[in-house]
Amino acid sequence: MSAVKDIFQSVKDLWSLFVGLRVTGKYFMQPTLTVHYPRETVDEDVEQTYGGHVELVPKPKNPLKPKCIGCMMCVTNCPSGCLTVVKAKAPKPTPEEEQAMKEAEARGEKVKKPKAPKEPAKFMYDYSLCSLCGTCIENCPVGSLRYSNNIYFVGTSRKEFKLDLLQRLQRQAENTAKAAPEASEPEQAAETAKSEA
């Protein structure tokens, strides 16, 4: 009885190899699923939801300027210290204005000194240190940061991952203006700037 069982088992075992071959054969006949990167690109949907390096969000009315108010929340909360923000300084008063201010001070009046604009003068970002945790994005009070969908970002040296985000924003705005001259409305330009990598 057990001999019959053994033979039956051996046949079953042997058959399992053919079952496996049938599976691989079936999939061999189907179209390729992998993306051959330089010749093909990933689906638009995947690219749009991809969380690449951090980028600045432009003001809705002025795509050249970021929403950033220079509050430094991103810098203090970043776990890896990859952001460097320098606040804009107050504009230097002209000699005539300075003279007028001194005179007013001498008269004992309250002097209104020029205030620093609420914007960054410099916004440097070191992608090589970033761990893409999104802490800066969540803690920005004005929503001036977001993940870019720059999925094909490559570089050959560490230097290339040190990004000037203000420059990048301006470059994006210029590219958008070039690509869509009919989009004269700034809000529309800001919309399209988002889709620009």
Partner 1 sequence: MTRYPDPKQVGGDFYSRNFAKNARPDTLILNLGPQHPSTHGVLRVLLELDGEYILRAEPVFGYLHRMHEKMGETKAWGQFMPNMGRVDYGHPLSWNWAYCGAVEKLAGIEVPERAEVIRVITHEMNRLTSHLLWWGAYILDLGAFTPIMYAFDDREHLLDLLQRPTASRLTYSYFRFGGVSKDLDEKFVEGTKAFIARFRQRLPMYKDLVTDNIILRKRVEDIGIIDQDMVTRYGATGPVARGAGLAYDLRVSEPFGVYDRFDFKVPTQTTCCSMGRYLVRMEEMEQSCRIIEQALEQLPGAEGPHLVKGAPKPQAKMPAGEAYFAVEGGRGKVGVYVVSDGSKIPYRVKLRAPGFSNLSCFAEACQGMLLADAVAVLGSLDLIIPEIDR
Separation between Cα atoms, residue 140 and residue 177, nearest integer Å: 27
Sheet architecture: strand order including 83-87? 83-87, 120-126, 162-164
Cα diameter, the chain: 119
Shortest CB 27 distance to partner 1, Å: 7
Separation between Cα atoms, residue 139 and residue 191, nearest integer Å: 23
Task: Tell me the helix, strand and coil percentages in the chain, rounded to 5.
Answer: 45, 10, 45
Structure tokens, 123: 């916004």
Shortest CB 62 distance to partner 1, Å: 27
Question: Looking at 2, 5, 24, 39, which residue binds partner 1 (CB under 8 A)?
Answer: 24
Question: Looking at 1, 3, 14, 29, which residue binds partner 1 (CB under 8 A)?
Answer: 14
* Per-residue interface string for the shown chain with partner 1, residues 42-61, x marking contact by CB under 8 A: -x-xx--xxx----------
Shortest CB 20 distance to partner 1, Å: 5
User: Which residues lie near partner 1 (CB under 8 A)?
Assistant: 13-14, 16-17, 19-20, 22-24, 27, 33, 43, 45-46, 49-51, 76-80, 131-135, 138-139, 147
